[in-house]
Chains A and B, each alone.
Chain A
Amino acid sequence: MSFWRRFARNLGAMVGLAILALVALMAVLAPVLFPFSPWEMRGIPFMPPGEAGFLLGSDSLGRDVAAGIAHGALVSFLVGGVSTVAALLLGVTLGALAGYAGGWVDDAIMRFTEFFQTIPSFVLAVVLVAIFTPSIASIVVSIAIVSWPPVTRVVRAEFLSLRSREFVQAAEVLGRGRIAIMVTEILPNALSPIIVLASLMVATAILLESSLSFLGLGDPNLMSWGFMIGSGRSVIRIAWWMSVFPGIAIFLTVLALNLVGEGLNDALNPRLARRRGIVVT
């Protein structure tokens, strides 16, 4: 309860949450508001916003930009969410093992992690998608593959410091098993940074997906914000709305996720956030 109150006190975070709720609502209502495929030609091409029944204008083939944005929201959330969950699964497992076991296990896992960190993540994602042919699954997998190393590092650091805490040692002395200690004693105490990191990872994943589709590596069957910007890029001087509105959608969503992440960070680490510095001895 007090967590929610601390979170609610942060105006930015609440604004972020509101934007996210709106985007989510748009994604859910897209089939109702625009009960047709976003690829369908609905009228005259290059119609400015507000004309001929196009709320946000039409593109070079007469497709509805507003419908594209609404349908694209689902793709963005899907890619952001699923790839983050996948990256978390991998990152938390490896980080927990490395931090708890220490020794050569830690060394091996961390060298493996560094191997991924030395390759520029966007280039790796492009290569992976190009090899596995662009589809929603290959995009999700490649985004997950490039975004787990930071999770591993954070989780490992948390486990390293929590491992030597007295309550963990007490559990050892009680004779609990290693996995039980990792899952029930250490992990719950390491959740706050993981949650914060996850919210920012969703934002990064959405940006990565947009960048991939901008380059033409998006799923050809799904409308996506990045693809819309990419296709509007060459005609930006005569039809600015084709790239500006999807751009705004990306900007707002990513900004909202970052605001929420910041708010979560403050709410989960009240000692860092409290700058009034009250010490009573």
Chain B
Amino acid sequence: MTSPILSIENLTIGLPAGGDRANAVEDVSLAVRPGEILCVVGESGSGKSMTASAVMGLLPKGLPVRSGRIMFEGNDLLTLPAETFRALRGARLGMVFQEPMTALNPLMRVGDQIGEAFRVHGEKGDIRSKVLALLEDVRLPDPPSIIGAYPFRLSGGQRQRVMIAMALALGPSVLIADEPTTALDVTTQMQILRLIRGLQERRGTGVLFITHDFGVVAEIADQVAVMQHGRVVEHGEAAQVLNAPQHPYTRALTAAVPHGRARPAETHAPEPVLALSGVEKSFRRGGGLFRRGSPVQAVADASFTLVKGETLGLVGESGSGKSTLARCVVRLAQPEKGEILFHGTDLLPLGRAAMQPYRARIQMVFQDPYASLNPRRRVGDIIAEGPVTHGVPRDKALARALELLALVQLDAGAMERFPHEFSGGQRQRIGIARAIALEPELLIADEPVSALDVSVQAQILDLLDGIRKRLGLTMLFITHDLRVAAQVCDRIAVMQRGRIVEIGPTAKVFGAPEHPYTRELLDAIPGKAWTPPLEAA
């Protein structure tokens, strides 16, 4: 085993007084060896990003390093003078950030931005050809034209490639990647992961890779460190940690990863609840007072039928129109064409008043639990709001809200509190309680778990499934995560660029996909070769 190039030894970073714990990172020791990828996994708030920031000297002011060393090429980075550190940063240590959309300067051409890395560190000579070679290396199409492009012309995946090119420009010996694929679609994520893996193998770079996704870990990690509450709770070879986790927290985390096995098929009476045919919706982009913008087709010719008690999964990447389609059903968006039949009644021509009775029967759970609850209202009022609107007396609605809180496993004390006092998972429970307060027949869940940590995700999925069975709900479940879709859906519809390209029973779509795009999506599930071990306990 080679000696590490980057080693973090007993690092402790304090939090200001009044935080939820004394230290953001406590007694963390990690080592990155050349040619190796060390994945640091953990849920939000586990201190994993803080560790990466400490290595790059990007710790926010007011967070003191209480003890420990970060040794890199014979120097302790924590005591290095700013000037010396600056020379190392960028040249010997590269960093890729999470959000590719904001990590590039929008006013600088891509070529100049990458070239800057050379110029800052005093490189002379033919910078342009070096930049071209780099762009070639990160497999961006047509480097000579990309070099003169502004960042807004590039997609998220392309920008992330530019970021990687910048980080690798001077051949650093360590690359630090802080959730570099979290903001990307699955197929792009897979490309970026393969790119990082390939470059790292070729150049022998050590990589410190921060992620929350066990699939990603299974895909690229050599070594894994699991963090919880600022401490490393488990550390070891990837195969060891993934397949035979020792620490209870790691076991709980891996068990919570959606296993992606299709659930046993249920039979449903062929009684259609919702039938869409030929729904089309387009948006206009740009335009102004005198000129109409160019239309963008968000949903094209969407047709499907949902029968009573069934769960249909709508999967696709961002921009595929899956959310827009769901919003058309609840009339948050107005389609131009088509029919949306709910128990045989076309909802499309209905006005606001005529739609009112149907509102109670079709409800929706939203994606972002932090944005979907009114911060100025009490939880009890939020849940009771729907029934009150539909004519239930207020005290009765509040009593019902109390029952619903119990159903979503929150205690009664929640009634009088405000949403900000709850965690993301608890808020999502409140959102679910609000949706089912009206006793709907059809529940539309728009990415209900994608903003949540993996262990919370599993709880919410269980809860939704329990409620669905208990109330006999029909569900339209929108997700970008195919593992989740497989777990909760009877049938799956795959959307690409506004079209439903494949629809069928879950087992068939996963087992024998017909459309090339479905195959591509399935192929891009990170760590699909790895099956999370079932929890022994």
Instruction: Tell me the A residues contacting B by CB distance below 8 Å.
Output: 165-167, 169-178, 180, 184-185, 188-189, 276-281
Q: How many residues of B contact A (CB 8 A)?
A: 40
Tell me the smallest distance from the CB of A171 to a CB of chain B, in Å: 7
Not counting A167-B371, A167-B374, A174-B385, a sample of 13 additional A-B residue pairs whose C-beta atoms are within 8 angstroms of each other reads A165-B371, A166-B371, A169-B364, A170-B364, A170-B373, A174-B389, A188-B377, A189-B374, A189-B375, A277-B61, A278-B60, A281-B49, A281-B50
Tell me the smallest distance from the CB of A100 to a CB of chain B, in Å: 14
Instruction: Using A277-B61, A281-B45, A281-B50 as known contacts, say yes or no to A173 and B371 having CB atoms under 8 A apart.
Output: no
Which residue of chain B has the shortest Cβ distance to A187 in the bound complex?
A: B376
Of the stretches B235-243, B355-363, B409-417, B470-478, the one at the interface is: B355-363
**Whole-angstrom CA separation of A176 from B386 in the bound complex:** 8
Q: Is B392 an interface residue (CB 8 A)?
A: no
Contact of A166 among B62, B368, B389 (CB under 8 A): B368
**Whole-angstrom CA separation of A277 from B63 in the bound complex:** 10
B359 near A170 (CB under 8 angstroms)? no
Tell me the smallest distance from the CB of A163 to a CB of chain B, in Å: 11
A173 near B359 (CB under 8 angstroms)? yes
Q: Is B434 an interface residue (CB 8 A)?
A: yes
Which residue of chain A has the shortest Cβ distance to B63 in the bound complex?
A: A278
Q: Is B174 an interface residue (CB 8 A)?
A: no
Residues of chain B contacted by A171 (CB below 8 angstroms) = 374, 385
Residues of chain A contacted by B376 (CB below 8 angstroms) = 188-189
Residues of chain A contacted by B363 (CB below 8 angstroms) = 173-174
Residues of chain A contacted by B50 (CB below 8 angstroms) = 280-281
Tell me the smallest distance from the CB of A276 to a CB of chain B, in Å: 5
Residues of chain A contacted by B368 (CB below 8 angstroms) = 166
A276 near B62 (CB under 8 angstroms)? yes
Q: Is B205 an interface residue (CB 8 A)?
A: no
A169 near B60 (CB under 8 angstroms)? no
Tell me the smallest distance from the CB of A122 to a CB of chain B, in Å: 31
**Whole-angstrom CA separation of A60 from B344 in the bound complex:** 88
Q: Is B48 an interface residue (CB 8 A)?
A: yes
Total of A-B residue pairs, C-beta within 8 Å? 80
Residues of chain A contacted by B61 (CB below 8 angstroms) = 276-277
A176 near B19 (CB under 8 angstroms)? no
B62 near A278 (CB under 8 angstroms)? yes
**Whole-angstrom CA separation of A280 from B377 in the bound complex:** 27
Within 8 A of A (CB), among B168-216: none
Tell me the smallest distance from the CB of B327 to a CB of chain A, in Å: 8
A166 near B24 (CB under 8 angstroms)? no
Tell me the smallest distance from the CB of A12 to a CB of chain B, in Å: 23
Residues of chain B contacted by A169 (CB below 8 angstroms) = 332, 364, 366, 372
Residues of chain B contacted by A178 (CB below 8 angstroms) = 352
**Whole-angstrom CA separation of A178 from B356 in the bound complex:** 12
B359 near A174 (CB under 8 angstroms)? yes
A174 near B15 (CB under 8 angstroms)? no
**Whole-angstrom CA separation of A202 from B364 in the bound complex:** 44
0/1 string, B42-75, CB within 8 A of A gives 1: 0011001110000000001111000000000000
A278 near B16 (CB under 8 angstroms)? yes
Residues of chain B contacted by A172 (CB below 8 angstroms) = 330, 332
21 contacts between A and B (CB under 8 A): A166-B366, A166-B367, A166-B372, A167-B372, A167-B375, A169-B366, A170-B373, A170-B431, A170-B434, A171-B374, A172-B330, A173-B364, A174-B389, A175-B355, A175-B360, A176-B389, A185-B374, A188-B374, A188-B377, A276-B60, A281-B49
The 9 closest A-B pairs by CB, nearest first: A175-B359, A166-B372, A281-B49, A188-B376, A174-B386, A166-B366, A166-B371, A167-B374, A276-B62
Q: Is B299 an interface residue (CB 8 A)?
A: no
A173 near B330 (CB under 8 angstroms)? yes
B366 near A170 (CB under 8 angstroms)? yes
**Whole-angstrom CA separation of A280 from B426 in the bound complex:** 20
0/1 string, B434-449, CB within 8 A of A gives 1: 1000100000000000
Q: Is B519 an interface residue (CB 8 A)?
A: no
Which residue of chain A has the shortest Cβ distance to B355 in the bound complex?
A: A175
Tell me the smallest distance from the CB of A9 to a CB of chain B, in Å: 14
Q: Is B284 an interface residue (CB 8 A)?
A: no
A281 near B44 (CB under 8 angstroms)? yes
B431 near A279 (CB under 8 angstroms)? no
Which residue of chain A has the shortest Cβ distance to B446 in the bound complex?
A: A166
Residues of chain A contacted by B352 (CB below 8 angstroms) = 178
Contact of B356 among A175, A185, A278 (CB under 8 A): A175
Which residue of chain B has the shortest Cβ distance to A174 in the bound complex?
A: B386
0/1 string, B470-506, CB within 8 A of A gives 1: 0000000000000000000000000000000000000
Q: Is B268 an interface residue (CB 8 A)?
A: no
Which residue of chain B has the shortest Cβ distance to A162 in the bound complex?
A: B374
Q: Is B469 an interface residue (CB 8 A)?
A: no
Q: Is B390 an interface residue (CB 8 A)?
A: yes
**Whole-angstrom CA separation of A169 from B363 in the bound complex:** 11
**Whole-angstrom CA separation of A277 from B438 in the bound complex:** 42
B385 near A176 (CB under 8 angstroms)? yes
A175 near B389 (CB under 8 angstroms)? yes
Contact of A280 among B24, B332, B372, B438 (CB under 8 A): B24
Which residue of chain A has the shortest Cβ distance to B381 in the bound complex?
A: A184
Which residue of chain A has the shortest Cβ distance to B437 in the bound complex?
A: A174
**Whole-angstrom CA separation of A172 from B438 in the bound complex:** 14
Residues of chain B contacted by A174 (CB below 8 angstroms) = 359, 363, 385-386, 389, 434, 438
Residues of chain A contacted by B49 (CB below 8 angstroms) = 281
A175 near B390 (CB under 8 angstroms)? yes
Which residue of chain B has the shortest Cβ distance to A165 in the bound complex?
A: B371
B45 near A167 (CB under 8 angstroms)? no
**Whole-angstrom CA separation of A167 from B373 in the bound complex:** 5
**Whole-angstrom CA separation of A276 from B374 in the bound complex:** 27
**Whole-angstrom CA separation of A178 from B15 in the bound complex:** 45
**Whole-angstrom CA separation of A251 from B24 in the bound complex:** 48
**Whole-angstrom CA separation of A172 from B389 in the bound complex:** 11
**Whole-angstrom CA separation of A175 from B391 in the bound complex:** 11
**Whole-angstrom CA separation of A171 from B360 in the bound complex:** 12
**Whole-angstrom CA separation of A175 from B61 in the bound complex:** 47
* Centre residue among A184, A279, A281 by max chain B CB count within 10 A: A281
Residues of chain A contacted by B45 (CB below 8 angstroms) = 280-281
Residues of chain B contacted by A281 (CB below 8 angstroms) = 44-45, 48-50
